[in-house]
Amino acid sequence: MQTETINLQHPITISGAEVSEIEIRRPKWRDIKGMQENTKGETSQVEQLVMALCSTPIGGGLTPDDIAELDVSDVTAISDKIEGFIKKSK
């Protein structure tokens, strides 16, 4: 499975550990479909996709609270990388 690493410009703390990079895996159709089927409105579609595709070196994925702590420039870099995966698929 294709993955890429984003080095965070502004590291965050998760469970007491500093996280300075996020690994992003290539999306599958089920990830896109799951994002589109979000009807509860508890998280945005972008948050859902980031939670589904991203993991940290300390293990596990990102929660909505983790995503909320990310700097806007880091969220943009993550979103651009995900968009790049999708555009490569066309």
21-75 pLDDT, tens digit per residue, is 999 999 998 888 877 776 566 678 888 889 999 999 988 899 999 999 999 999 9
Residue of higher predicted confidence among 89 and 9: 9
Q: Residue 88's pLDDT is what?
A: 67
Count Cα atoms within 13 angstroms, Cβ side, for 13.
3
pLDDT at 86 over 60: yes
Q: Which domain holds residue 36?
A: 3-89
Q: Tell me how many domains the chain contains.
A: 1
Q: What is the pTM of this model?
A: 0.83
Angle (deg, nearest 10), helices 45-53 and 72-89: 80
Neighbours of 41 (CB within 10 A): 6
Residue with tokens 């890429």: 4
Q: Residue 45's pLDDT is what?
A: 81
Calpha distance 74→90 (Å, rounded): 25
